[in-house]
């Protein structure tokens, strides 16, 4: 008989979560700094818009082929090696992008960077899922994603400060930004100690041999909803970042103001995740997820209206707050709905959906903008978020409350036996 796992709140507290947030902040900051720097470096060696689009797509497309195998490997083994591999690949991708001088090389190293980010995120999310008791998952995933928000806030600002000039000067400054981002990623190593318990062991052979089919995972009620909600929120964030400068150009808003507006959105997302626990106590998971997706959709569509800058700032602050809910709660939705022995695979499928969204959403936004104007993508994203709100209501039956111990009413949803618990 498989022994019951030790309580997650056992010795060690939540220091592991703080270290994971710090490591994720540096890793995400490095990637967020490197991606615009790669585009500037590509421009300095003669890239046009299509070439930059291809380089950007390689970052998202390459990980699609390895996400599920990595998830399966993590389901039946330790997670920490993926974190180390992810930091190594991110650092290598950033540094080698800074020294490459051709577009194919830039595309290849961008793909390596994307693969490293995927490895880190799969490993990190799996650790949070394993080391969190059911009633801690929403809070811990919310705190975990603060690391991503901090990185997304600081990375582009740092890239903007370092990259300057034209031609050869831009080639030099973009290379500097990429080398600095490689160093920032390497700082993550300082926070990776004891994130996974020393007593962690691989799963028994009986568990290693049991592979849940991907089709079964995707047909489990709650998993598709979590994937689509995550995709919708991430797509809204990406397209907002890409198209708000275009809106600003049309309305005569200075680039510095647009940068501040985007930073305001990121700061509001961080604020949301800091108060996730009291909001969950007040509203409950289903209501909170549904309401924030619905309000986020309306606010996103509202950006298409010709509002003054102060009104745009208020809308973006509220939108950033609403978008802060979707990612952590979609992680919990997927973890609770998926079979216990396939949680990491389910999280990998969620990340696969995110990557598909990162490719499809900008392309769709470009098509819509070409036909109906630059404000139209925000209406499209608003509709997507409203649809996600409907899924938030429907999935409520997929994440039942954990019954009192000993009732036998529900299977144990705690982490797999003694692999990552102290």
Residue 177, both tokens: 């930004």
User: How high is the pLDDT of residue 411?
Assistant: 40
359/27 Cα distance (integer angstroms): 21
Residue 294 has pLDDT above 50, yes or no: yes
Least confident among 192-206, 260-274, 371-385:
192-206
405/346 Cα distance (integer angstroms): 26
Sorting pLDDT into bands at 50, 70 and 90, what band is 48? confident
Sorting pLDDT into bands at 50, 70 and 90, what band is 109? very high
Domain ranges of the chain: 13-187, 216-400
Answer with the residue of higher pLDDT: 103 or 5: 103
Least confident among 100-104, 299-303, 404-408:
404-408
Half-sphere exposure of 408 (CA within 13 A, CB side): 0
Taking each continuous run of H as one helix and of E as one strand, the counts in the chain are 16, 0
How high is the mean pLDDT of the chain? 79
What size, in residues, is the chain? 422
Sign for the CA dihedral angle at 78, 79, 80, 81 comes to positive
pLDDT, one tens digit per residue, over 154-206 is 887 888 788 876 666 878 888 999 999 999 999 999 988 877 765 554 444 44
User: How high is the pLDDT of residue 412?
Assistant: 40
409/21 Cα distance (integer angstroms): 34
86/109 Cα distance (integer angstroms): 14
pLDDT, one tens digit per residue, over 317-363 is 999 999 988 888 888 888 888 887 788 888 888 888 888 887 777 67
Q: What is the pTM of this model?
A: 0.74
Sorting pLDDT into bands at 50, 70 and 90, what band is 4? very low
Selection from 367, 395, 151 nearest residue 269 by Cα = 151
Q: What's the whole-number mean pLDDT along residues 298-326?
A: 90
Q: Contact, 294 vs 386, CB < 8 A?
A: yes
User: How high is the pLDDT of residue 405?
Assistant: 40
What is the percent of the chain where pLDDT is above 90? Answer: 17
212/297 Cα distance (integer angstroms): 35
Sorting pLDDT into bands at 50, 70 and 90, what band is 395? low
Instruction: Give CATH superfamily name and number for 13-187.
Output: MFS general substrate transporter like domains (1.20.1250.20)
Q: Rounded to 5 degrees, what angle do the CA atoms 416, 417, 421 make?
A: 90
Q: What's the whole-number mean pLDDT along residues 102-110?
A: 89
pLDDT, one tens digit per residue, over 59-86 is 877 777 888 888 878 777 788 888 999 9
Q: Do 216-400 and 13-187 have the same topology in CATH?
A: yes
Sorting pLDDT into bands at 50, 70 and 90, what band is 255? low
Sorting pLDDT into bands at 50, 70 and 90, what band is 413? very low
322/153 Cα distance (integer angstroms): 17
**DSSP 8-state symbol, 65:** G
Longest dimension (CA), the chain: 70
User: How high is the pLDDT of residue 187?
Assistant: 94
User: How high is the pLDDT of residue 410?
Assistant: 40
Alpha helices in 188-253 (DSSP H): 205-208, 214-219, 223-251
Sorting pLDDT into bands at 50, 70 and 90, what band is 422? very low
CA torsion angle 264 268 270 274 (round to 10): 150
Residue 125 has pLDDT above 70, yes or no: yes
Residue 39 has pLDDT above 60, yes or no: yes
Answer with the residue of higher pLDDT: 204 or 122: 122
DSSP string, 364-415: HHHHHHHHH-TTHHHHHHHHHHHHHHHHHHHGGGGSPPPPPTT--SS---SP
What is the percent of the chain where pLDDT is above 70? Answer: 83
What kind of fold does domain 216-400 have according to CATH? Answer: Growth Hormone; Chain: A; (1.20.1250)
User: How high is the pLDDT of residue 178?
Assistant: 93
């Amino acid at each position: 008989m498989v022994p019951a796992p030790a309580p997650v709140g056992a010795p060690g507290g939540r220091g592991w979560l703080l270290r994971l947030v710090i490591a994720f902040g540096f890793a995400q900051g490095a990637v967020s700094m490197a991606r615009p720097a790669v585009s500037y470096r590509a421009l300095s060696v003669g890239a046009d818009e299509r070439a930059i689009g291809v380089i950007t797509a390689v970052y998202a497309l390459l990980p699609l082929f390895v996400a599920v195998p990595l998830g399966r490997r993590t389901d039946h083994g330790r997670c920490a090696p993926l974190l180390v591999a992810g930091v190594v690949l991110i650092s290598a991708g950033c540094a080698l992008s800074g020294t490459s001088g051709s577009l194919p090389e830039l595309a290849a190293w961008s793909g390596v960077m994307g693969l490293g980010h995927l490895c880190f995120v799969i490993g990190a999310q799996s650790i949070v899922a394993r080391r969190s008791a059911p009633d801690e998952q929403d809070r811990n995933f919310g705190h975990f994603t603060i690391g991503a928000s901090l990185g997304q806030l600081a990375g582009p600002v740092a890239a903007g400060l370092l990259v300057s000039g034209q031609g050869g000067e831009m080639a030099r400054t973009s290379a500097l930004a990429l080398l600095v981002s490689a160093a920032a990623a390497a700082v993550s190593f300082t926070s990776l100690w004891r994130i996974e318990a020393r007593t962690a062991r691989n799963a028994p052979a009986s568990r290693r041999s049991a592979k849940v089919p991907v089709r079964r995972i995707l047909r489990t009620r709650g998993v598709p909803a979590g994937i689509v909600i995550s995709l919708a929120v991430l797509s809204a964030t990406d397209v907002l970042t890409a198209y708000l400068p275009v809106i600003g150009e049309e309305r005569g808003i200075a680039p510095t103001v647009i940068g501040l507006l985007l930073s305001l959105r990121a700061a509001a997302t961080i604020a949301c995740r800091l108060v996730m626990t009291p909001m969950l106590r007040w509203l409950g998971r289903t209501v909170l997820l549904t309401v924030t997706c619905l309000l986020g959709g309306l606010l996103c569509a509202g950006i298409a209206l010709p509002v003054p800058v102060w009104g745009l700032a208020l809308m973006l602050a509220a939108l950033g707050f609403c978008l802060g809910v979707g990612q952590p709660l979609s992680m919990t939705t997927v973890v609770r709905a998926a079979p216990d022995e396939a949680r990491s695979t389910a999280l990998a499928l969620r990340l696969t959906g995110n990557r598909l969204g990162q490719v499809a959403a900008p392309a769709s936004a470009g098509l819509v903008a070409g036909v109906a104007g630059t404000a139209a993508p925000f209406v499209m994203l608003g509709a997507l978020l409203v649809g996600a709100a409907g899924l938030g209501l429907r999935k409520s039956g997929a994440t039942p409350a954990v019954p009192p111990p000993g009732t036998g009413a529900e299977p144990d949803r705690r982490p797999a036996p003694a692999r990552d618990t102290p």
